[in-house]
Amino acid sequence: MPYYKSPQRLDGSGPGVQFTPDRPYWINSYLLPPIDAGQQIGLTLLSDKPGETVVLLTYYDESLQTIVGPALVDVIFAPSQKGLVTFSIVERPGRYMLVITSFNSSYTFYLTSVWSPFYQFRTLAIYSFGLIPIGFVMAYYDSLLEEREAIAEKALAGIRRAKS
């Protein structure tokens, strides 16, 4: 199933916190499923205040757990800029990370590309393989219980005939 890939869309908004003098900015990061080389990533972002957002879209190395350059998108909004629309071609296959830093502002974004819609179920597949032996054991135990019930019914039927 992870080899089936179709156009997907990730959308979100943020940052979802109250800004205070002690907290003038907030950083949100979004990890994307693996994207094949040569695929296009489209990113649309709209901020509610001009010049208050920084956007970074780059490759994420899972083994090192770090972002790796060069970035596909690395934009600091200009003082009059409230939005961003960009299309980039993926040169390195793998996972990508979108990092949005908002300074006393909120945003909405839409990210489109081609990846597997079943990627989030990869962990469940591992656990489901562990459930197969448990299912066999339960089916075997159920057949043993059915045999016991059949023997008990046969014995009770013999007792009822003997009484009559």
| Cα separation, 54 vs 101, whole angstroms | 5
- Classify domain 6-117 by CATH number: 2.60.120.380
Domain ranges of the chain: 6-117, 121-163
Query: Tens digits of per-residue pLDDT, 67-104?
Result: 888 999 999 999 999 999 999 999 999 999 999 999 99
Strand, helix or coil for residue 16: coil
User: 82 forms bridges with which residues in the sheet?
Assistant: none
Q: Give 50: exposed, middle or buried? Use CB within 10 Å, 0-12, 13-18, 19+.
A: middle
Amino acid at 148: R
pTM: 0.72
**Cis (ω within 30 of 0) for the bond into 70?**
yes
